[in-house]
Amino acid sequence: MAATTGDELMDTLTQQIKARAVELGFDLVGVAPISNAPNADAFEDWLAHGYEGEMAYMARNVEKRRHPGHVLSGARSLVAVALNYKQPDDELLVDSPIHGRVAQYARGIDYHDLMNDRLDSLLISIKELADIPVRGKVYVDTGPVLERDFAVLAGLGWYGKHTNLINRNMGSWFLIGEILIDLELTYDKKATDHCGTCTRCIEACPTDAITEPYVVDARRCISYLTIELKGAIPEQLRTGLGNHVFGCDDCQDVCPWNRRAPEAQEPAFKATHITDHPSLVKLLRLTTEDFRANFKGSPIKRTKRRGLLRNVAIALGNSNDTEVVQPLIGALDDEEPLVRQHAAWALGRLRTQEAHCALNQAKAGEEDPDVLDQINLAISEYP
Ligand code: B12
Ligand code: SF4
Ligand code: SF4
């Protein structure tokens, strides 16, 4: 009988790791060798343009993002996994301006804990399967790793022009996580680009955030504006938000590779009553306690109540529906200046007599300078 070679052992171990990842519920798994991140220069150009906005953490640890060897010394391989979060189609949400739109990944439970726990289990399995000591590190989203660069190398998908990774069979509705290990494995082939001459995502972006193919200016992206930005949303971008209240999927919705994308098997991503067609007026009336109770374990808690209600006020201002004037007038008394400020903007857009009176009344009692400025601007919208 022929002796088993080192390569055969590596192949077997790689296959066992992949089988375990699928058992743990991941939809895709691939393995890449550790190297310099192929698009590190593009990443630094992006920073040089200031496209990260207030996400200061993106400009930290640039060396680590350039090479995962700085994250785990002696790292040899990166096991990349993907989890499908595709929810049923929601054309209705687009057509109903008094209902908010929540990005598909954020309608159920936060994926970070879910994927981290599974990757921790996968790392334990890798340590058991290898007959030598293995060091490893698990990351989902928040680590200093250019995740998409390595997921491309691991064959999970290619960079779409909207910068999300696309897989031929699954489209782009998946989240990425990875394990760095100091063990050599058998590597997958790099995914190849299949965007061709298509530019649908670039044309569909409501705020022109895709400045050129493969480059997103986060400061213009609705996902950044509604989730990451803590203060006021720049006025010139507010109408572009439409009824998006948390994240945005517009560039993915129009992508031809998503036409036949399979729905997620993972029940944790299913919408709850408050993320499925949420009534904007109902959201605007959430108290701090309601917010906590409704968004425990949800990605939406990231914005805090004031961030979500800021987004909701803008969406109401974009609704063109005068029925929402009363609730917005109520929000002029909100305890949070950020909410009052955006409610004033919305009332300036809806232009009813009632809204005009309420703005004048609020002006008399308002002390916050930013809110006062916005009230004055809103009043100036009236003839
Ligand atoms: C910062 C960040 C954001 C920012 C900035 C987005 C961005 N495009 O960079 C904001 C808040 C806007 C954001 C939004 C979203 N995000 Co985000 N985000 C990240 C994070 C933390 C870092 C991304 C990053 O490094 N950006 C820096 C820029 C330079 O990288 P990049 O845009 O990918 O650019 C690369 C390519 O363009 C590449 N490139 C390839 N070919 C070419 C060719 C040329 C010519 C050039 C110039 C460049 C180039 O080079 C660049 C450097 O790597 C990652 C997690 C992680 N640690 O990687 C998640 C991540 C990218 N986000 C994710 C998701 C799901 C989203 C949203 C869909 C959420 C939503 N529905 O609202 C949107 C999508 C918006 C979009 N069109 O990108 C997923 C993507 C999964 C996937 N299938 O690709 C990730 C991987 C999180 C995860 N762990 O699953 N995100
Ligand atoms: S919409 Fe077209 S250009 Fe954009 S990611 Fe999809 S295939 Fe690529
Ligand atoms: S997520 Fe929305 S705003 Fe951001 S690039 Fe895509 S379409 Fe534009």
* pLDDT, position 377: 97
- Measured from the alpha carbon of residue 195, the closest ligand is 2
* pLDDT, position 196: 98
- Measured from the alpha carbon of residue 164, the closest ligand is 1
* pLDDT, position 96: 85
Name the token pair of 221: 């992206």
Cβ–ligand 2 contact at 216 (below 6 Å): no
Instruction: Give the span between the Cα atoms of 257 and 170, in whole angstroms.
Output: 8
- Measured from the alpha carbon of residue 157, the closest ligand is 1
- What residue type is assigned to position 121 of the chain? S
CA of 195 to the centre of ligand 2 (A): 5
Active-site annotation, residues: 141
* pLDDT, position 5: 77
Read off the pLDDT of residues 37-70 as tens digits, 9 standing for 90 and up.
Answer: 999 999 999 999 999 999 999 999 999 999 999 9
* Cα-based distances in Å from 249 to 78, 147, 204, 380: 28, 19, 10, 34
Question: C-alpha angle 234/223/371, rounded to 5°?
Answer: 30
CA of 164 to the centre of ligand 1 (A): 6
CA of 354 to the centre of ligand 2 (A): 45
Q: Which residues line ligand 1 (CB under 6 A)?
A: 39, 42-43, 46, 55, 58, 103, 105, 140-141, 145-149, 159, 162-165, 172, 174-176, 214-216, 218, 221, 223-224, 228, 247-249, 251
* Cα-based distances in Å from 302 to 177, 294, 313: 20, 13, 18
Q: Which residues line ligand 3 (CB under 6 A)?
A: 162, 205, 207, 209-210, 216, 221-223, 248, 250-251
* pLDDT, position 2: 57
* Cα-based distances in Å from 151 to 62, 283, 361: 18, 37, 55
Break the chain into its structural domains and give their ranges.
1-95+107-220+250-266, 221-249+267-380
Q: What residues of the chain score a pLDDT lower than 70?
A: 1-3, 90-95
Tell me which DSSP letter residue 255 carries.
Answer: -
